[in-house]
Amino acid sequence: MAASGMRARMDSLDMLANNLANSGAAGFKADRENYNTYIDEQAQGLASDPVLPVVETKWTDFSQGTITPTGSPVDIALAGDGFVSVAGPNGPLYTRNGNFKVSANGTLQTQEGYSVTGKDGKPVRIDTAKPLEITQDGVMRQGGQDTGQLALVQFATPQQLTKIGNSYFSPSNNAANAAKPAQRLEVQQGKLEAANVSAPEAAVRLVSILRQFETMQKAFTLAGEMNRKSVEEVAKVSG
């Protein structure tokens, strides 16, 4: 069990490192863990606590991040539940990272070059020669006319989405969890939603995980030493 616990702690360190690495990424949603505990008999001889956590499930935390202004008219922050749809390389993807750009042909894109999808299913296009207004419900206006509307969607069970990279989510095959028009989502132009990663919290968790790993490592070493002594005692008796 100690070896299994050490592997789980390594997975936790990898997850935590990824969260910290993306703490400055707009719209990033942190990964979390659910734990259970077991009592490691091998660790009971140690001064440290033999009650050790085991990772049961990993999940994505979709809680709201802090919204901050950027001043860019093509940046959007999403306040509430939902995503904006973009055209991924293998089908639709969904994101809360509204750090957009305009391509040479006037298409609104993510920083990775994925076209932002309109409510009509077509790529959103921007006339860079005209001021852009984006309303709270995602309607695009230029020159006093509505030119399109962002495809804003929500899911009954966001946890069933598959995380693609660090900013995108892929739809599940569950028809009951299909994308539906967002009902509780507000677009804020010229702003971005920050990652929902707390650096102080992550630092505390990092120290805790490292201590747990050290306990398991000691338990693993102790078990090996006990096995070695057992083999030596058997050899003495047999001799």
Q: How do residues 51-90 score in pLDDT, each as one tens digit?
A: 555 555 789 999 999 999 999 999 999 999 999 999 999 9
Domain ranges of the chain: 2-62+198-238, 67-193
- Give mean pLDDT, residues 45-53: 50
pTM: 0.78
User: Could you tell me the sign of the dihedral formed by the alpha carbons of 215, 60, 79, 116, in that order?
Assistant: positive
| CA–CA distance, 79 with 74 (Å, rounded to integer) | 16
Q: List the Cα angle 141/147/153 in 5-degree steps.
A: 90
Terminal-to-terminal C-alpha distance of the chain? 33
User: In this predicted model, what pLDDT tens digit does every residue of 5-40 receive, in sequence order?
Assistant: 556 667 777 888 888 889 899 999 999 886 555 545
pLDDT at position 9 is: 65
pLDDT at position 198 is: 84
Mean pLDDT of the chain: 83
Q: How confident is the model at residue 110 (pLDDT cuts 50, 70, 90)?
A: very high
Q: How confident is the model at residue 207 (pLDDT cuts 50, 70, 90)?
A: confident
3-state SS, one letter per residue, for the chain? CHHHHHHHHHHHHHHHHHHHHCCCCCCCCCEEEEEEEEECHHHCCCCCCCEEEEEEEEEECCCCCCEEECCCCCEEEEEECCEEEEEECCEEEEECCCECEECCCCEEECCCCCEEEECCCCECECCCCCCCEECCCCEEEECCEEEEEECEEECCCHHHCEEECCCEEECCCCHHHCCEECCCEEEEECEEECCCCCHHHHHHHHHHHHHHHHHHHHHHHHHHHHHHHHHHHHHHHHC
Is the pLDDT at 44 greater than 60? The verdict is: no
